Structure 1
Amino acid sequence: MANLGLYYLFFVLFSFHFVTNNAAGSAVAVNSKNGATNFIRLSCRATLYPVLCFQSLSMYATKIQQNERHLAEAALSVSLAKARFTAMFVSKLTKVSGIRPREFRAVKDCIENMGDTVDQLSRSMKEMSRIRGNQDFMWHMSNVQTWVSAALTYENTCFDGFSGNFMEGNVKAAVKRRIVTVAQVTSNALALVNRFAERHQAAATNMP
């Protein structure tokens, strides 16, 4: 009977220890995610489209944590994914029944522009992965900034190809919806890349 009582006491103490540790671990995880989420929200204020920025990046809070580089890389990844999807969508518009000659030419130009956009964003992500501390940091970041800016220019050029009243219609509307979104996330990515570069340089300058 005494052994049974000791066994029961041991079981209660073990269970309490297990539950307490789990609760503490869960609290740490929640606090960590909340901190990352707040970090993303505050960082997105530096962009032109903060609401879209937060919506597109908050799902990566666990990976981003409170790291400026991870945030910039996630933003580039989102932009690249959107650009690839848009490029695939636009490429199918050449087969739309009843497409007008001017629309067809604009779509063909847009396909080329979006292909260039994907290339520039892919190069930017690869360049980010080559950054190692302070060594050649600004050279790598200058490349990234140049290529993301070029991607944004290609996106805007695609959209400009559909300007004018004679281009009004379903094709223009379909392209506009997607190009506007991909241009906005690319603009946000560029802002966060610039923020990362500036903060890294400021920290490096203040090092003893």
Structure 2
Amino acid sequence: MADLIISLLPIFLVFLFTSTTVEPAFHRRSRTRAYVEVSCQVTEYPDLCIRCLTAYVHSSNATVLSPHQLVQYALLASQHRAQYTRAYLLKLSKELTDNKGQEYQAVKDCLEQIDLSVDQLSMSIKEFRQLGREATLSRDDQFWHIRNVETWVGSALTDATTCLDEFPGQRMSKLKATVKAKVLNVAQVTENALALFHRFAARY
């Protein structure tokens, strides 16, 4: 009997460790998802907002339970979507270099706009992080950072939308349709991030 207890002891310890570590992590993810789902209802594309943020938070193994965290992850998710699209457009423009037709020019112009979006989103994230030190900021400084974030995220959205203007109408080649879909995703994710930021900034 004693030998049986000794042999089962490691299994019991593993179960005990798992139940005290995995379960809290599961509950944290559940609370995070619930918080994201409720918060995303203020956005123009709530389903996209939920999918984008839960996927990003899950991949980062993070917990989001505050408005500041939520906006920061929304901006980071938008930046990463823009970076991914920029990399795709850069690769595509190199492939089309020998064929300098309409598609090449449209992709080249779009790449310039998305490149600007990436830079502006990067600046907005740095600026937004300053608001995390709000206890040490004067009210004027708070408003300064808020205006800067709003300006840069808004500009990033405008640039992505300008890129979409390069692909008007519904009938287009498969290549143009793919580019348009990727850029539209950047624009919608950025618009959602801006809506979440506006809700956060309203507290000031």
TM range (shorter): 0.7 to 0.9
One-letter amino acid of the counterpart of residue 149, structure 1: G
Q: CA deviation at 1:64?
A: 3.6
SS at match of 1:66: coil
Structure 1 unaligned blocks of 5 or more: 202-208
Q: Which residue of 2 aligns with 1:35?
A: 31
Deviations 1:117-157 (A, max 9, x none): 01100100111122211522221111111100100000010
Q: Which residue of 1 aligns with 2:118?
A: 118
Deviations 1:60-118 (A, max 9, x none): 16524311111101111111111011111112233238856222222221111011101
One-letter amino acid of the counterpart of residue 178, structure 1: K
Q: CA deviation at 1:22?
A: 6.2
Aligned-pair identity (%): 35
Q: Distance in 2 between matches of 1:19 and 1:115?
A: 50
Q: Which residue of 2 aligns with 1:188?
A: 192
- Whichever of the two has the greater Rg, that structure is 1
Deviations 1:33-62 (A, max 9, x none): 222210000001011111111111113165
Structure 2 unaligned blocks of 5 or more: none
Deviations 1:160-195 (A, max 9, x none): 012258x82133112111011111111111111111
Deviates more, 1:89-98 or 1:19-28: 19-28
One-letter amino acid of the counterpart of residue 160, structure 2: E
- The alignment's C-alpha RMSD in Å is 3.1
One-letter amino acid of the counterpart of residue 169, structure 1: S
Instruction: Name the TM-score, length of structure 1 as normaliser.
Output: 0.79
Among 137, 150, 157, the alignment partner of 2:155 is: 150
Q: Distance in 2 between matches of 1:29 and 1:22?
A: 10
Q: Distance in 1 between matches of 2:117 and 2:17?
A: 49
The verdict on how the C-alpha distance between 1:32 and 1:99 changes in structure 2, with shifts beyond 3 A counting, is same
The verdict on how the C-alpha distance between 1:160 and 1:23 changes in structure 2, with shifts beyond 3 A counting, is same
Instruction: Name the TM-score, length of structure 2 as normaliser.
Output: 0.80
